[in-house]
Amino acid sequence: MRKHRTNLMKTVFTVEGPFKVPVYVGKGSRTIDEENLWQFWEKIPSLAEKRGCYAFGIRAAKGSTPGWVGKATKNFRQEVFSPHKLAKYQRFLADYRKGTPILFFLVAPLKKGAPNVSHINDLESFLIQVGMSANPDLLNVKGTKFEKWGIAGVLRGGKGKPNNAAKQFRQLMKMNLSMKSTGGSESTPDPVSEITSDTTISAPEVRQ
C-alpha cells in the first residue's frame, strides 16, 4: 500500500499574530519606535526565542498589505528588528499615512537538535511569492521574480469575476481561501492558511 503523502510532512509551522509594532508619531511623520521595541518582546516572550518566518505589513480600514517577509534561523528577537530590517520597515511605513504596522510570525515546531533550516528557507521563498501576489511592491529583493503567467478567475488572472468552471476548479484544489487579489474583484488563494488547519490570516484582530 502506498504511504499517504501527508504522513511525510515533518515541519508544520503555526501562525501567531498579528502583533502591533510600536510607533513614534512626530509632527511631520511617524517611525517605528526603536527605543520601545523591548516592550514588544516583553508582551510575547514565548515567541522571542523561537524560529521560523515572519511578515511585516500595514493594517488599514480597507485591509492588510504585506511589506516585507523574512526568516529567523537563530531566533525572532535577534533577527526581526535588526538594523537592515528596520530600514526596510521604515521605508515601507513612509508610504502609508494611515494604518497600523503589524507582524505575523510563522513559528517552527520545537524539536530536539538544530532547526530544519531548509524548511524555513522554503517557507520564506513561498511567502515571498504569496506576498508579491498581494503587493507587487513588496520590499524583498531575493526571490521576488514575478510570475508571468496566471489562471483566469483563479490566480493572477486580472479583473473580472471567475466563471463557474474556475470556481469549481478552486474548490477542487482547495483554493477558496480569502486573500485580496492584486487586480480582480474576486479573492485569490491564501495558501498560507493551509500551513495549519485552524489558522487564517484574513481580517485579523491586532494584538497590542
Q: Is residue 193 part of a domain?
A: no
Q: What is the pTM of this model?
A: 0.74
What is the 3-state secondary structure of 116-174?
A: CHHHHHHHHHHHHHHHHHHCCCCCCCCCCCCCCCCECCCECCCCCCCCHHHHHHHHHCC
Question: Which of 52, 45, 72, 58 minimizes the C-alpha distance to 18?
Answer: 58
Q: 74: domain range?
A: 5-150
DSSP-based three-state secondary structure for 177: coil
- Cα–Cα dist 22/36, whole Å: 7
Q: Is residue 142 part of a domain?
A: yes
The total domain count for the chain is 1
Q: Which amino acid is at 80?
A: V
pLDDT at position 208: 62
- Cα–Cα dist 178/193, whole Å: 9
pLDDT at position 6: 55
Q: Whose grid coordinates read 477542487?
A: 172
- Cα–Cα dist 53/46, whole Å: 15
Q: Is residue 110 part of a domain?
A: yes
- Cα–Cα dist 73/117, whole Å: 7
191 contacts 130 by C-beta, under 8 angstroms: yes
pLDDT at position 146: 65
Digits of tens for pLDDT over the chain (208 positions)? 555 555 556 788 999 999 999 999 888 788 998 888 999 999 999 999 999 999 999 999 888 999 999 999 999 999 999 999 999 999 999 998 889 999 999 999 987 666 689 999 999 998 998 898 888 899 997 755 666 778 888 877 777 888 899 988 888 887 764 333 333 334 333 333 333 323 333 334 566 6
Q: Is residue 166 part of a domain?
A: no
Q: Whose grid coordinates read 500551513?
A: 195
pLDDT at position 183: 35
Q: Is residue 179 part of a domain?
A: no
20-24 long-range contacts, Cβ below 8 Å, gap at least 24?
20/100, 20/101, 20/102, 20/206, 20/207, 20/208, 21/56, 21/89, 21/101, 21/102, 21/103, 23/93, 23/101
pLDDT at position 28: 79
pLDDT at position 178: 38
- Residue-wise burial string across 99-124, b where 16 or more C-beta atoms lie within 10 A, e elsewhere: bebbbbbbbbeeeeeebbeebbeebb
- Cα–Cα dist 193/91, whole Å: 28
Q: Is residue 13 part of a domain?
A: yes
Q: Is residue 160 part of a domain?
A: no
Q: Is residue 109 part of a domain?
A: yes
pLDDT at position 173: 81
